Amino acid sequence: MTIVSANGARIPALGFGTFRMSEDSVAAVLPAALRTGFRHVDTAQIYDNEGAVGAAIRSSGVPRDEIFLTTKIWVGNFSPRAFARSVEESLRKLRTDHVDLLLLHWPNGSDVPRDVQIAELNAVLEKGMTRHIGISNYSIAQMHEAAALSAAPLVTNQVEYHPFLSQDRLLATARDLGMSVTAYYAMADGRSATDPVLREVGARHGKSAAQVALRWLIQQNDVIALSKTAKLERLEENFAIFDFALSENEMLTIGELATPDGRIISPRGLAPDWD
């Protein structure tokens, strides 16, 4: 497994995401994902599956200290009154005394000032409830603001990123700040699997279009990709992206698939003005 280093964190480059996975799906698939080799698991308070994630990690037989576990604080829990208490609840559900990475889930949707949010994030870090902290869905300007406000270094900005959405400018900013970018919707909600360019590249390597999309992400410096599947038979395929490499021309060709309307996720009231 490739490891991405960012501001002191060592993060497995390929993660297993649980967005929109029911507790039953998590219970059925996550233990098998961990046994397949996944060592990075991503969840969030709003996914309503932290309990299932914690139980699945326990049942997998993989030691907790071998797993990089991420969760995210929902915008309704940003106030000093709710922040630490919500993290304690997440830890209880996850059956652990700490997570490896704790993120603020969205930059908007709360009337709690940004400096207060960042201060609360640092406070739970100091208490040992998380090993690292970061942000999610932040714009470039918001990344700079959060980094300046934080006493501890931020290690990632988790954003939508796939071949049909360029994040070149945001990634450059992350690198300037010593951060990584964690890509969610890495396979563009299924679009990657049927794209003719990705299929053609995959055919040259004996790989699927989806594998090419994941490889394109993790082959970029400082990029982490979250894969997701509710199908056991897809786990091996999603994990088998470390035994081939894309050429420089292939990387450029895939990058040219991005379009101005390539974004999929942008909830009103939560999302920033995207770069």
Whether 235 maps to a domain, the answer reads no
- Token pair of 253 as six digits: 């060709």
Domain of 31 in residue numbering reads as 9-188+218-229
Confidence tier at 69 by pLDDT (50, 70, 90): very high
- Taking only the tens place, the pLDDT of each residue in 23-45 is 999 999 999 999 999 999 999 99
Is 161 catalytic? The answer is no
The residue among 104, 49, 42 whose CA lies nearest residue 77 is 104
- Tokens 């088998």: give the residue: 240
Q: Does the structure show a pLDDT above 90 at 179?
A: yes
Number of alpha helices (DSSP H) and beta strands (DSSP E) in the chain: 11, 10
Q: What is the pLDDT of residue 67?
A: 98
- Token pair of 134 as six digits: 């970061």
Q: Spot the catalytic one: 47, 161, 184, 185.
A: 47
Q: What is the pLDDT of residue 211?
A: 97
- Taking only the tens place, the pLDDT of each residue in 196-241 is 999 999 999 999 999 999 999 999 999 999 999 999 989 999 999 9
Whether 56 maps to a domain, the answer reads yes
Whether 120 maps to a domain, the answer reads yes
Whether 83 maps to a domain, the answer reads yes
Give the count of domains, the chain: 1
- Taking only the tens place, the pLDDT of each residue in 106-154 is 999 999 999 999 999 999 999 999 999 999 999 999 999 999 999 999 9
Residue 51 CA, distance from chain mean position = 19
Whether 262 maps to a domain, the answer reads no
Whether 68 maps to a domain, the answer reads yes
Q: What is the three-class DSSP state of 208?
A: coil
CATH of the domain at 114: 3.20.20.100
Q: What is the pLDDT of residue 1?
A: 86
**Cβ–Cβ < 8 Å for 170, 157:** yes
Whether 52 maps to a domain, the answer reads yes
Q: What is the pLDDT of residue 134?
A: 98
Residue ranges with strand state E in the chain? 3-6, 9-12, 14-17, 40-42, 68-73, 101-104, 133-136, 154-160, 180-184, 223-227
- Token pair of 86 as six digits: 């919500």
Cα(49)–Cα(124) distance, rounded to whole angstroms?
A: 21
Q: What DSSP line would sit under 179-221, residue for residue? A: -EEEEESTTGGGHHHH-HHHHHHHHHHT--HHHHHHHHHHTST
Task: Measure the CA dihedral 54/92/147/79, to 10°.
Answer: 140
The residue among 139, 226, 233 whose CA lies nearest residue 189 is 226
Cα(254)–Cα(134) distance, rounded to whole angstroms?
A: 28
**Cβ–Cβ < 8 Å for 228, 19:** yes
Q: What DSSP line would sit under 230-268, residue for residue? A: S-HHHHHHHH--SS----HHHHHHHHTT--TT------T
Whether 112 maps to a domain, the answer reads yes
The overall average pLDDT reported for the chain is 97
DSSP 130: B
